[in-house]
Structure 1
C-alpha cells in the first residue's frame, strides 16, 4: 500500500508538470501524434514522464502485493496530490469542499488499507489475456482518431479511453506471470501493457490540451478504477480480510467519489487564474 501511495504522489505531481507542457505545445498542425511530439520538447513534460516512470515501478510492486481495487483507488487519489501540489507550488486556492474531498480520499484509502487482503491467487486465463489485448488495441484506435472528433461528449470519451488504457496496464501487470524473455514474448498481456499504456498517454495529452479537463479527468478516474477492480475480484481472486468486505467497498467508493470531486485538478490552472488567486 505504501508503494501504491508513492505511485499516486508521483503521478499527481507529474500531472501538474505535463498539463503545463501540454498547453505550451498548443499550435502547429498534425494530429495527436504531432501534439505528443511537441509536448516532448518541453522540459516539464519530460520531468513529468520521469515521475511517471518511477510511479509505474511502484505501481508494479503494489499490484504484485495487494488487490487491484486497492491499487486503483490509490492511483485515483493522485488527483488529491495534484490539488495539494497546485495549492502549494502554483498558489491555487482550494475551496473548503475541495479540502474536505482531500480528507475523504485519505479516509477512503485508510479504510482500504485496513480491509484489503493479499492479491488474488488465480492465474489469468489465456482468453482474459487476449481480451485485455483487444481492449488495448481499441484504446489505441480511439487515440489515433479521437483528435478529429468534435462536439458534445468528446471530452468524456477521451477521458474514458485514457482510463481504460491505464486500466489495461493494471490488469496486464497481474497477467504477466513470468519475466523470462520467451514467456514475455508469448504472452498477449505484454503487448497489451505496452499498447494500452502508450495509447492512454496519447488520449490524456489530447484531453488536457483541447477539452474540458474536469470532464475528461472524471472519465479517466472511472475508466481506470471500476473495470480493473471487477476483473481482479471476478477473474483473479482478489479478496478482502475476513469480515471486512463492507469496509473495503465503503473505502473504495469514498476514495473514488472524493477523487471525482477533485477532477478539475486533472490539469494545472492557466497562468492568469494562478495570478488572480
Structure 2
C-alpha cells in the first residue's frame, strides 16, 4: 500500500507539457542561432568597411589632385560682337578653346553660364559658345539675363577639368556598366569615367560585388561656413567698431562618399578649399 501511494504521489511531465517545452527550446535555439549568424555577418561587413576606408581615403586624395578652385582663363576672352540675349555668344581673345563644362560670367550680364558646346576657332581666332544658365534652378531659364556688349570681359569661374561637380551622384556600383561609362565619356568627362572604373573596382575588391540595395555613391555640394576673421594672425578674432567678432563666410566644396551594405551604412566626408 505504501509503495502504491509513493508512485501515485510522484508527478512528472505530461506528453503535452513535454512537447510544449521542446517547442520553446527549439524556438529559443533558432532565435539564438539567427542572432549569432546576424552578428557574425555584421562583424564581417564591418571588417570589410575597415578595409574600404583605405580605398575611400585614396579617392579623397585623388579628388584633391583634381580640384582646381582657381580657374584657368585661356587668355583674355571678350565678347566679339554685340549679342542679343540668347544661348549663343561669339567670343574672341581665347588662347585655347575652353572646355565643355567650364563656367563663365560676362561683364554687364547677370548670372553664371556653363559652356555646353563651342566651335573651332575661325580665321580671326573667334569661337561661338553655346551657353546654359547655371545659377538658377529653373531649367526653362536658359538665355543670358541681358544683351552682351562688344568687348565685354568674359571670366571663367570654374574649369570642368578642375571642378569636383562632375563627380556628383557618381554611382560606383556601375563601374562595369558600359552604357553608363559611355554616357560620361560623351559628356567630355573621360577622367570621371576612368575614376569611376578604378574606384568602383577597388571598392569591389574590399566589399565584394554590389547587391540589390547596396550604395556606393559620391555626392558633391557647395556649402558656406562662417569663419572668424583674424587678419593680423594674433590668434584672436578681429572685432568691429562695436566690439563684435568679425565673421567671414567661406564657400567650400563638401564631398560625401556613402557606402551601404546589408544593414550597415557609413558616410565619409571631406571639405575642399583652395585645393586642400
TM-score, length basis structure 2: 0.27
Which one has the bigger strand percentage? 2
Which one has the bigger helix percentage? 1
Which of structures 1 and 2 has the larger relative contact order (alpha carbons within 8 angstroms, sep 6+)?
A: 1
